[in-house]
């Protein structure tokens, strides 16, 4: 691990100290962890009584550990299990390319990967995808060492254990991606018959025994219905005709240019040019291509799709493209592919001034505005410097400078995050609701509102009609999602006759019930 890896980790860690949970996933994981701790569950998880067999237990154990150790302050602790695997992936890839090349260009590759949109995002949220990616990358690195005959004796047994750890972190993709990559590479080399040399019956037996032990514990704790949900609905069901995140075959081809910003055009140009000019000449290049292609094709065939599912492929595409970049950095189309997003970044200050003056974020405090200004200034100045380097035929240097500017922007913006938490999460909204002194809560239009129990100690009652709102008799705090009035004209008209007790970010709080006037007058 290089010093730059530690610096990247330190700078990207800062937002975890002050950021609120996002409602869709992070808050849900904490709520599930609370329920598991209360029930004494370790293998079968539930979200307010409903089975949550979507994910294996490893990551939930980490959330439970953080909740047990630090209570409400677990964000930074669990965040380490996104950031450290992210840095681990870069360290493994750095060592890998140095095995095969005297000039691996690994510094630029590290920085490009660290700032590739979806990869950077996966390292800065509480999700298990980056941890799975680390186990997948490490398992494929071990396979490659075995293939090259430089592995130590224990690595033959480490391979199935690492594949299991990927499975135990996120699910079937943890097995499917490594096996597809290994088989594709060996088939390309016309050595598919040697597959058993790396994953023979003994290694597969290790994998089967570990899976059987896990599934046995799930059955003992959750019963037949839960194990059926885990093994069939969450695997076969999602793969063939998904009930969740279903998308067409071409989904990733359409989404990758956005998910891999700001370097999307660079990757596309270099990858296509490298294949057309037959740059492929080493086994490591063949293996990286086999991993990229097999992962993308396989996950495209599977019914359930999300941008983040494909991040195990990113390190291989990024490092391959940056390895090839030295041969192409003087080409005008490569310079254009790099400079276009950097020019956009250079114009960020103007967009930031417009956003701050538009009123969309309310009356921003001076201190928050100053830190936001410093952040966009860092991004703009770094982007301009990077463009100069690219124009001077120093593409790798341009990547490094621009990447440090992006990471520096994240760090510089950290002091401004507490103000913007009211748009990021639901913590401030719930604290404001508690300040009313009313212990009964309801909500209109929120998704995942049941997980507000992390803040309120109870889940707000869901109200979905005007009749139900008018029928409320007991004083109740009503939490209103900002989008609800836009989707429901009748509800918008109902709200227009009432004054909110508080506005938090874009959401609002109302006090309803027959005694609401009394309460407001007493205040």
pLDDT tens digits along 153-163: 899 999 999 99
Q: Among the ranges 129-138, 417-426, 475-484, which has the highest mean pLDDT value?
A: 129-138
Q: How many CB atoms lie within 10 A of CB 82?
A: 24
pLDDT at 262: 95
pLDDT at 269 over 70: yes
pLDDT at 198 over 70: yes
| Tokens standing for residue 405 | 């500017």
Domain boundaries, the chain: 3-243, 335-418, 426-522
pTM confidence score: 0.93
Residue 322 Cα distances to 3, 19, 28, angstroms? 20, 33, 38
Average pLDDT, integer, range 419-442: 93
pLDDT tens digits along 181-197: 999 999 999 999 999 99
Indicate the SS3 state at residue 189. coil
- pLDDT averaged over the chain? 90
pLDDT at 519: 45
pLDDT tens digits along 331-351: 999 999 999 999 988 887 766
**What residue has token string 């490594």?**
178
pLDDT at 104: 74
Q: Whole-angstrom Cα distance, residue 480 to residue 510?
A: 8
pLDDT at 148 over 90: yes
pLDDT at 243: 46
pLDDT at 244: 55
Q: Which helix (H) or strand (E) holds 507?
A: strand 507-512
Q: Whole-angstrom Cα distance, residue 81 to residue 85?
A: 6
Where would I find the H helices in 229-365?
238-241, 251-259, 264-276, 283-301, 314-325, 332-346, 348-358
């Amino acid at each position: 691990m290089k010093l730059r890896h530690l610096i990247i980790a330190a700078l990207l860690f800062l937002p975890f100290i002050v950021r609120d949970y996002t409602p869709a996933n992070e808050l849900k994981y904490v709520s599930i962890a609370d329920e598991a701790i209360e029930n004494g569950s370790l293998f079968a998880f539930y979200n307010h009584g409903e089975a949550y067999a979507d994910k294996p237990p490893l990551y939930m154990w980490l959330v439970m550990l953080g909740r047990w150790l630090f209570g409400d302050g677990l964000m930074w602790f669990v965040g380490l299990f996104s950031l450290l695997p992210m840095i681990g992936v870069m360290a493994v890839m750095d060592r890998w390319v140095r095995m095969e090349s005297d000039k691996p260009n690994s510094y630029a590759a590290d920085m490009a990967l660290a700032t590739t949109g979806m990869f950077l995002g996966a390292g800065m949220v509480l999700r298990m995808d980056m941890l799975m990616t680390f186990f997948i990358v490490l398992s494929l690195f071990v396979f490659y060492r075995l293939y090259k005959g430089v592995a130590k004796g224990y690595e033959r047994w480490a391979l199935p254990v690492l594949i299991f750890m990927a499975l135990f972190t996120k699910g079937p993709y943890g097995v499917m991606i490594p096996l597809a990559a290994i088989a594709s590479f060996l088939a390309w080399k016309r050595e598919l018959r040697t597959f058993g040399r790396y994953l023979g019956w003994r290694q597969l037996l290790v994998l089967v025994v570990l899976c059987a032990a896990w599934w046995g514990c799930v059955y003992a704790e959750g019963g037949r219905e839960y194990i059926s949900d885990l093994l069939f609905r969450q695997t076969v069901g999602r793969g063939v005709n998904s009930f969740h995140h279903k998308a067409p075959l071409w989904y990733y081809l359409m989404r990758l240019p956005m998910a891999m910003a700001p370097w999307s055009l660079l990757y596309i140009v270099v990858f296509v040019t490298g294949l057309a000019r037959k740059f492929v000449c080493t086994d490591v290049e063949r293996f990286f291509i086999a991993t990229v292609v097999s992962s993308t094709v396989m996950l495209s065939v599977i019914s359930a799709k999300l941008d983040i599912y494909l991040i195990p492929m990113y390190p291989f595409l990024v490092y391959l493209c940056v390895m090839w970049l030295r041969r192409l950095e003087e080409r005008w189309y490569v310079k254009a592919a790099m400079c276009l997003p950097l020019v956009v970044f250079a114009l960020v200050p103007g967009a930031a001034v417009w956003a701050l003056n538009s009123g969309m974020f309310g009356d921003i405090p001076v201190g928050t505005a100053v830190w936001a200004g410093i952040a966009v200034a860092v991004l703009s100045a770094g982007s301009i410097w990077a463009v100069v380097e690219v124009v001077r035929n120093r593409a790798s240097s341009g990547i490094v400078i621009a990447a440090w500017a992006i990471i520096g922007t994240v760090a510089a913006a950290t002091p401004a995050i507490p103000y913007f938490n009211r748009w990021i999460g639901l913590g401030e909204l719930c604290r404001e609701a508690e300040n009313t002194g009313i212990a009964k809560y309801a909500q209109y239009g929120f998704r995942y509102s049941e997980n507000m129990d992390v803040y309120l100690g109870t889940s707000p009652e869901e109200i979905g009609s005007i009749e139900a709102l008018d029928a409320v008799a007991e004083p109740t705090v009503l939490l209103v999602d900002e989008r609800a009035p836009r989707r429901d004209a009748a509800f918008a008209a109902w709200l227009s006759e009432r004054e909110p007790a508080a506005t938090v970010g874009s959401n609002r709080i109302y006090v309803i019930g027959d005694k609401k006037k009394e309460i407001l007058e007493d205040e």
